[in-house]
Amino acid sequence: MRLSKYLSTAGVASRRRAEEIIASGRVAIDGKVITLPQHRVKEGEEVTVDGRAVQPAKVKQYLLLDKPAGFLCTVTDPHGRPTVLDLINAGSARLYPVGRLDLDTTGLLLLTDDGELAYRLTHPRFGVEKKYSVQVKGVPGPAALRRLARGVRLEEGPTAPARVRLLRRKRDSAHLEITLIEGRKRQIKRICAAVGHPVLRLRRTEFAFLTAAGLESGACRRLSGEEVHRLYRLVGLHFE
């Protein structure tokens, strides 16, 4: 198994973050520091991170949270601010968020220690859809809606096409439904601002086929085996 995948399945971090940890020289195999994420871990070898032995979890955890505003999508915060882990009972499992929601953004957030699944669910290559309810300032016209749908050029390049629906109009605001397959940092806020309609309120309503049905704000539930199986099939993984 590749070292980066080994760390992600051990619940250390997502695969992308695991690659950074490895490159920084914090990982050793049988006492020898390894800095290549593609290094193969052989059976019986001891893998350590910052001197602590890690190994893939035998039973993986999958939690779906309806995130309220005011909580950071991170495992820890150096400033002591509340994080989404404060809302769940993770027990001994080391869970981390699949993707991010801003501090003031609400809605669906998946947390897991399954690094390979998390990687595929967030990588645009696998086309997993995330749907958002967006209240924006002003009422976007046809030209602005077309720009949002075909992709908006940001500093790092154009965004992927999106599905955009104008749901409701008010005198000085509108409600949109936007469906993305990528998750750049603050993407919806940035693309809406770029077309002249800053976001006033933002909520993720769907993640793949998952919804918040039956969940109150701040509450979470475990995914069923069938739901996990469906997520695996969605991203081309074999469910054992």
Residues taking part in catalysis: 102
Give the up-direction half-sphere exposure of residue 220: CA atoms within 13 A in the CB hemisphere: 22
CA 164 to chain centre: 21
Residue among 129, 121, 147, 144 nearest 197 (CA):
144
Tell me the C-alpha distance between 95 and 20, whole Å.
Answer: 18
Tell me the C-alpha distance between 84 and 95, whole Å.
Answer: 10
Tell me the C-alpha distance between 67 and 83, whole Å.
Answer: 10
Tell me the C-alpha distance between 87 and 132, whole Å.
Answer: 22
CB of 223 within 8 A of CB of 98?
no
Residue among 220, 214, 234, 22 nearest 112 (CA):
220
- CA angle 166/188/63 to nearest 5° reads 105
The residue behind tokens 């920084």 is 24
